Structures are given as structure tokens and as C-alpha cells.
Amino acid sequence: MKTAKRFTPLFLFAVFLISASAFAQWSSIAPGRLISPEDQAKMLQSGRDKPLMLQVGSHMLFLQAHIPGSEYIGPGANDAGLQQLRKRVEGLPRNKFIVLYCGCCPWNHCPNVKPADDALHTMGFTNVKVLYIADNFGTNWVDKGYPTAKGE
């Protein structure tokens, strides 16, 4: 289809811009505010310091597998998801321990966690960590044998 080929350079440029934006977003989360899957799993098993865990990515992925006890909020990449996030946390004390996660894509391509993290920061939350998922939830959590739940 000639039209597909004509639009390819423009499409690739648009994708480059989106990729660059996503890269800039995730790279600005301070390392001290990240938590590894291993540490998150240990925290779950210990039962101590239990955070409010919020999945801010894909509902389809959440239904297949998610961290037990975590809640699905909605994609941090869109306004509806951020609205749901704000609604969920608005009544909580601002020092509430919250862990955000996604796992849709490789870390440097995730469009969801950084906007969600920013939204909580803007609301004044001071005790937020982001689960660092390098590749995807399947590879870095499920395949490692960490606790997993299915469904809603």
C-alpha cells in the first residue's frame, strides 16, 4: 500500500518523539524512590510496612496477574487513570506508604508510572515508591516465582 509507505517517515518521527518523552519521564524518578521486585516480595512476605499497592497500567494485564492485595487504578498515561488515582488517595494521610507499579513494557518505555508518581507528588504524598520492573511484569515478577493473584 503506497499510502502506508508515504506515512512511514512521519510515523517513525512521531514514535521517536513519544519514545524520547517516555525515556525522559522514567529516568527522572530518583533511584532512592525505586523498590526492586525482590525487596517488594520480601516486604510482602514479612507482612511488615505493608504499603498500599496500586497498579497504574493495563487492566488486561492486571486481570491475568497482579501482586496480591494490590488494586487496579487505571493507566497513569491518561487523564481518566490519573483521575481515578487522585480519587483513590485523596482521603489518605500524606505520609501513607504507597507503591506504584505497572510492568506493561520495558522500564524505559513505560508511559504509566511516572505520570502517576508525579500526580501523587503534586498531591503532597511523601512516602511513595515505584516498583522497578526492568522488562515486564511476567519476566520480572511472575517468572521469578513471587506471589501472584489473578482476576479483579
Partner 1 sequence: MSRPDSAVAKQHRPAPDFNLPLINGGQLRLSSYRGKVVLLDFWATWCVPCREETPHFVDLQQKYDGDGLQIIGVSMDDSTDPVRTFYQQFHINYPVVMGTADVGSAYGGVLGLPIAFLIDREGHIYAKHMGATDAAVFEKDITTLLQNR
Which residues of the shown chain bind partner 1 in the complex (CB under 8 A)?
1, 3-5, 7-8, 11-12, 15, 18-19, 22, 58-61, 63-65, 75, 77-78, 103-106, 109, 111-112, 135-139, 142, 150
Q: Is the dihedral of CA 78, 148, 41, 126 positive or negative?
A: positive
Q: Which is nearer to partner 1, 51 or 111 (CB)?
A: 111
Rounded to 10 deg, the angle between the 2-27 and 113-122 helix axes is: 40
Q: Is the dihedral of CA 36, 40, 43, 45 positive or negative?
A: negative
Count other Cβ atoms within 10 Å, centred on residue 122.
10
Supply φ then ψ for residue 145, to 5 degrees: 80, 15
Considering the complex, state which of residue 28 and residue 78 has its C-beta at the smaller distance from partner 1.
Answer: 78
Closest approach of partner 1 to the CB of residue 2, in Å: 10
Pick between residue 30 and residue 60 the one whose CB is nearest to partner 1.
60
Q: How far is the CB of 13 from partner 1 (least distance, A)?
A: 12
